[in-house]
Amino acid sequence: MYHHIKKLMYTVQVGTPDPRFGNMLLEQFGGANGELAAAMQYSIQGLNCDDPERKDMLMDIGTEELSHLEIVGTLARMHLKPMKNNRESAEVDPLIAIAGGGGVALHNSMGDAWTADYLKITGELDVDLRSDIAAEARAKIVYERLINFSDDPGTIDALQFLMTREITHMKAFTAALESLGKDRFSIGSIPPTPELVDQYFDDSTGTGDRGEPNARGPWNAGGSWQLVEAPAFSALKSEEKGTRHPTEENGSGRKSARQ
């Protein structure tokens, strides 16, 4: 059950309205990494969650994101207000000024309508929590960039609050994921193919005319990693030797044996 309290979670104050910046703010209102997408994603994940404890967390954070949506919408509305009666301001974005009357709408800063395609919901709690951590990280970066493009103290204060809460949520989602006690790479119930899972395909190889030298790091060296030559190169070498790959199809569409 939702109940609207007629008070913002964070009081918004704007000194000098900036319609162009108001348009940028719409990215966090109706954009892919915005507050509505977050609110819907976490809330629907919560509705689908059979784990009562983590369901409670998802519903808590999903509800808070609706409060953030209200803050962003209020902030954007204050910056967009000059569009209602000022021709020069209205020309910043005719869609907002003419179709929306200088108010907010569920679209991003480019005028693209909000869509449920933004949501990442699988019904697998650990997978969804990983998506949520990434969503908070993306939103944090968007707020950081918005702060860098504003010189209004009140606006910056509100954005700083919102940006900080993204980190809070990231911490909560991370703790919830770790509390499941699952191995980091244990996804679903079907195990991966033992040897194949540790093979790193060297698919961007070559020096000189063929490209830059290969890089080695903990993502492809040490531990159980096995560096494997690029499959494309293996195919080329087979062709140079006049051989064909066992699974290569002949002209009749049938699998041909190695010659």
Helix 35-48 × helix 125-148 angle, to 10°: 170
255 strand-pairing partners: 249
Q: What 3-state class would DSSP assign to 110?
A: coil
Looking at 41-50, 75-84, 181-190, which range is the least confident one?
181-190
Q: Kindly give, in sequence order, each residue whose CB lies less than 8 Å from that of residue 117, ignoring residues fewer than 6 positions away.
A: none
Q: What 3-state class would DSSP assign to 251?
A: coil
Strands 199-202 and 226-229: parallel
| CA–CA distance, 56 with 54 (Å, rounded to integer) | 5
Sign, Cα dihedral of 118, 124, 125, 127: negative
Structural domains in the chain, CATH included, are 19-179 (1.20.1260.10), 196-240 (no CATH)
pLDDT at 184: 86
What percent of the chain clears pLDDT 70, i.e. is strictly above it? 88
**Tens digit of each residue's pLDDT (9 = 90 or more) over 166-224:** 999 999 999 999 999 998 889 999 999 998 999 999 888 666 665 677 888 999 999 99
pLDDT at 256: 46
Q: Which long-range contacts (CB under 8 A, 24 or more apart) does 160-167 make?
A: 161/10, 161/71, 162/10, 162/28, 162/68, 162/71, 162/72, 165/64, 165/68, 166/136, 166/137, 166/139, 166/140, 167/136, 167/140
